[in-house]
Amino acid sequence: RRERDLAVAMEPATTTDGHRVEVVANIGAVSEGARVADVGGEGVGLLRSEFLFMDRRTAPDEDEQAKSYRTVARALGPDRILVIRTLDVGGDKPLPYLDVAAELNPFLGERGVRLTLARPELFRTQVRAILRASTSGKVAMMFPMIAKLAEWRAAKALVEREREALGVAPIPVGIMVEIPAAALIAEQFAREADFFSVGTNDLTQYTMAMDRTNPRLAPQVDALHPSVLRLIERTVAGARAHGRWVGVCGALAGDLHAVPILIGLGVDELSADIPLVPAVKARVRSLSLAECRETARLALEAGDGTEVRAIVAQRHP
Nearer to ligand PEP, 68 or 205 (CB): 205
Name the nearest CA neighbour of 91 among 81, 83, 82, 101: 101
Name the nearest CA neighbour of 179 among 156, 205, 158: 205
Q: Does 174 bind Mg ion (CB under 5 A)?
A: no
Nearer to ligand PEP, 48 or 242 (CB): 48
Q: Does 178 bind Mg ion (CB under 5 A)?
A: yes
CA distances from 95 to 57, 89, 115, 121 (A): 9, 7, 11, 16
Binding mask 188-207 for Mg ion (x = CB under 5 A): -----------x--x-----
Nearer to ligand PEP, 178 or 233 (CB): 178
How many CA within 13 A on the CB side of residue 271?
Answer: 27
Binding mask 236-265 for ligand PEP (x = CB under 6 A): -------------xx---------------
Q: Does 162 bind Mg ion (CB under 5 A)?
A: no
Q: How far apart are the C-alpha atoms of 104 and 98, rounded to whole Å? A: 18
Tell me the closest approach of the beta carbon of residue 8 to Mg ion, in angstroms: 32
Q: Specify the stretch interacting with ligand PEP by CB under 6 A; choose among 58-66, 101-109, 181-189, 195-203.
A: 195-203
Q: Considering only residues 42, 151, 162, 178, which one is a binding residue for ligand PEP as defined by CB under 6 A? A: 178
Strand partners, 273: 26
Q: Residue 22 binds which entry of Mg ion, ligand PEP, none, with Cβ cut-offs from 5 to 8 Å by kind? A: none
Closest residue to Mg ion in the complex (CB): 202
Q: Does 269 bind ligand PEP (CB under 6 A)?
A: no
Nearer to ligand PEP, 88 or 162 (CB): 88
Nearer to ligand PEP, 163 or 199 (CB): 199
Q: Specify the stretch interacting with ligand PEP by CB under 6 A; choose among 131-139, 179-187, 199-207, 236-244.
A: 199-207
Query: Which residues of the chain form contacts with ligand PEP (CB under 6 A)?
Result: 46, 48, 88, 178, 199-202, 249-250
